[in-house]
Amino acid sequence: MNAIDLLIDDHEKVKDILTRLTDSTERAVKTRTELLQKLEMEVTIHTQLEEQILYPAYKEAGGKEELKMYHEAKEEHRTVDSLVLPDLKATDPSSVEFSGRVKVCKELLEHHIEEEESEMFPSARELFDKARLEEMGQQMSELRNRLKKEFTASQAA
């Protein structure tokens, strides 16, 4: 699978989890807790795939516009990884505050996804030939499998 298609599949998974989270009620503590764990795993792995494989290649192959998009995308990742997800994890899933934080998380991630899919990914399809996108997709699949095992092991510990 090529890198862009793989990342778009990830986006669909994340959007589905976010929708299910925002649709859940304060009574659905178990569901919210499980969905939040899934969200954290998907977002963490997805971020690594982009930041270790796509973004560096994109930055190197592109010009000034790509460099700006690269830095903006990295900053959006940092905001979600360093602020939004840790706050959400520290919030009682039975609270109204949790509902509000999930909504903000959803808005941030959907904005990020929209920008990637409408600006960065089309640009990447122009910068890289089919073979290079396939090669990056293969690297991402291998990295995802390794990270998923590590994430699952750390959750079990």
16-71 per-position pLDDT tens digit: 999 999 999 999 999 999 999 999 999 999 999 999 999 999 999 999 999 999 99
- Domain with 37 in it: 3-156
- What secondary structure letter does DSSP report for 128? S
DSSP 5-71: HHHHHHHHHHHHHHHHHHH--TT-HHHHHHHHHHHHHHHHHHHHHIIIIIHHHHHHHS-HHHHHHHH
User: 118 near 13, Cβ under 8 Å?
Assistant: no
| The residue to which tokens 């700006």 are assigned | 68
What residues contact residue 148 under an 8 Å CB cut-off, 6+ apart? 41, 45
Pairwise CA distance, residues 122 & 49, whole Å: 18
The rounded distance, in Å, linking the Cα atoms of 107 and 121 is 20
Q: pLDDT-derived band of residue 152, with 50, 70 and 90 as boundaries?
A: confident
Q: Is the pTM of this model over 0.85?
A: yes
How many domains are contained in the chain?
Answer: 1
Q: Over the stretch 59-103, which tens digit does the pLDDT of each residue have?
A: 999 999 999 999 999 999 999 999 999 999 999 999 999 999 999
Residue of 152, 122, 94 whose CA lies nearest to 4: 122
**pLDDT higher than threshold 80 for residue 148:** yes
